[in-house]
Every structure is written in C-alpha cells, then in structure tokens.
Amino acid sequence: MRLAFIKCHGSGNDFPLIDARALDLPDADWAGVARALADRAGPVGGDGLLLLTAGDDAGHDFGMRMFNSDGSEAETCLNGLRCVARLGFELLGVDAARVRLKTSSAEVARAEPLAPGVVTICETAGPASTRTGAVGLRIAAETVIDAAIPGLPSTRAFTAVAMPNPHLVAFVDAVDEAELTALGDWCEAGPGLIPARANVSFVELRGQDLFVRTYERGVGLTDSCGSAMASAVYAAGRTGRVPFGTTMKVFNKGGLVMGSSDAAGMVTILGNATFLYDASIEVDPALATAEPPLVHARREDEAAAWAAAIPA
C-alpha cells in the first residue's frame, strides 16, 4: 500500500506522521507500518509512528495514536502530540484542540515561537499518577516516590509515574548512559516486576532546570521523550526538588522544552513541532518492509530554524 507521511520531530524525537483519519487498517497492520517506517536501519527511520485520527462526539477535535519502533502501541507520546496537533490545526483550520489519546485526553494550542521560525505548541496532559498499579509495577507499595524499587537491578531512588504511559525516573548527579541502557534493556524483557515494561529516565537537576536522558520502551535510548520530560517535571515537584508551578527548562540530547506541573498532576509542556519533509512510500505491513520514500517537498527553513535555535 502507498502511504503519504510527514517526517517530523519534537525536540529531536523523530517520527513519520500519517493523516490516518480516512484510513481503516487493523492494529496489526499499523504495527507493521511502524516497524517498517521507524526502523533506524530502514528507508525512513524514527522513534515510532504517529497517526492523526478522526475526532469524536466526546469532545475530541481529533485523536492521536502512537506506535513504537517495535510495533507496540503506547498510551501517549508528548513530543509526538505536538506534531500531531500541528497537523490537526493545519487541516481543521483551528489553533487549539482537545485530543483523544489511547486512554486519556490532552489539550493543545499554538504558542508563541520558542525561537524565530520554530513552530511551537503548548500541550497539557495528565493527571500524572504515582500509583504503582497505574505504572504497572507489581509490588506491594502503593507508590514509589524517591525510593529504591525492590527487585529492580538498581539501588537508585526512583519515582514511578504514569503519564499515563509508565515511567521510572531517577534523579542522578550525572547521567551514566551505560547504566541507563542496562536498566532499560532489563525492563524491555518484560520482567515479572513490570511486565508491560517501562520508559526509564535519569535526570540531572541543574538549578531549577532539568536534563533528562531516556531509554524508551519499545525503542531504546532516544534523543528525547516528551512524556519522560513531563514525568520528570512532575517528579521534581512531587519530591520537593522544584516547587510545583515553577516553569523550568528541560534539556535533552535533542534540544529542550519548557515544562511546569501542579500538585494535581497536570503537566504543561511547550516545545517545537518541526516538519522536515513531505513524502509518500510503498509499505508492506505484513512483512514490515518499505521501499525508499518519494520525497515531495523538503522544509529546509524549518530544519534550519531549529538548528539555529538549538546549537549542537
């Protein structure tokens, strides 16, 4: 089948994005499309597949679905949501919307550019939950807040957050990528402690700002993860490191976003939604393979604006 897509990124988290409002494919086929298009060794590459889906009578202007590179479907993707929101705004001619996610809803709106030429979207999601059941942790404790998790092969103190996708967040003095990768790999095996797996983040507190490095469920180490940044912002408030209500810069390997949260668990993230190119591609969902894409237009001005705003 031939699919049109936009290659986009939110804070360096990159995705093929498909307007799927009129496409009716079984979930297994979307999983195959994700595995074909978000394969780093394949013709497109990305940290997952984003779908813009139709609105509904429950007050959602449109919806978002997100499939990880391994074909698993996530509850949310907050870097991806900004890109989906931008496409929804452009297609519907609106500047704000309520969006249906897999198991929750989010509010999105156009915002003042973070830097000249950088399309910027504000998103509010939540409430974040620290209930271990919501995070998928099979332990007796009701919550894990800045505490070791029995059975996890790490002695670090974690805060477990459902955004609503599962996150384990540890504040560290300095991010050790090898340690993060080893722990992420352990979670990827779906151990009895956390069978649905988890996104794992190490976070450096830099004054009242954060630097977040994340091993994403279903993907691996990524340049940034929006729901991980949201979880880290909330965890910073919940653990008393940064007062709720503080707007902080959240740095990551792919750039930065602005974030804040409140005691009720609502998290607001402001960040880019950059479109890189428009293309179409022949995909075989059953085999999870794709031909090289036909690129129709490159949005070089947007890529340049982001590069100028976030020097390497």
Ligand X SMILES: N[C@@H](CCC[C@H](N)C(=O)O)C(=O)O
Q: What positions carry a catalytic annotation?
A: 77, 225
In contact, 149 and 141? CB cutoff 8 Å: no
Residue the block writes with tokens 């993060």? 180
Q: Do 144 and 152 meet the contact criterion of CB atoms below 8 Å apart?
A: no
Please give the Cα distance from 229 to 215 (Å, whole number). Answer: 12
272 annotated to a ligand binding site = no
Task: Specify the residue for token string 């409430």.
Answer: 127
Torsion of CA 128, 51, 47, 222, to 10 degrees: -20
* Cβ-based nearer residue to ligand X, 227 or 272: 227
CA atoms within 13 A on the CB side of 33: 28
At a CB cut-off of 8 Å and minimum separation 6, what does 140 contact?
A: none
165 a known binding residue? yes
Residue type, 61: D
CB of 121: closest distance to ligand X in angstroms? 13
Report the residue number, 75 or 262, with the smaller CB distance to ligand X. 75
227 is in an annotated binding site: yes
Cβ of residue 253: shortest distance to ligand X, in angstroms?
A: 13
User: Residues in the site for ligand X, rule: CB under 6 A?
Assistant: 13, 47-48, 66, 68, 74, 77-80, 165, 199, 216-219, 225-227
Question: What is the gyration radius of the CA atoms in the chain, in angstroms?
Answer: 18
Q: Which is nearer to ligand X, 224 or 285 (CB)?
A: 224
In whole angstroms, the minimum distance from the beta carbon of 163 to ligand X comes to 8
Q: Does the annotation place 252 within a ligand binding site?
A: no
Instruction: Indicate the residue among 217 and 238 with the shorter CB distance to ligand X.
Output: 217
> Kindly report the CA angle at 68 between 16 and 310, in degrees rounded to 5?
55
User: Shortest gap between Cβ of 225 and ligand X (angstroms)?
Assistant: 4
Q: Looking at residue 158, what DSSP letter applies?
A: B
Residue 110, marked binder:
no
Binding-site members are 13, 68, 165, 199, 216-217, 226-227
Binding-site members for substrate are 13, 68, 165, 199, 216-217, 226-227
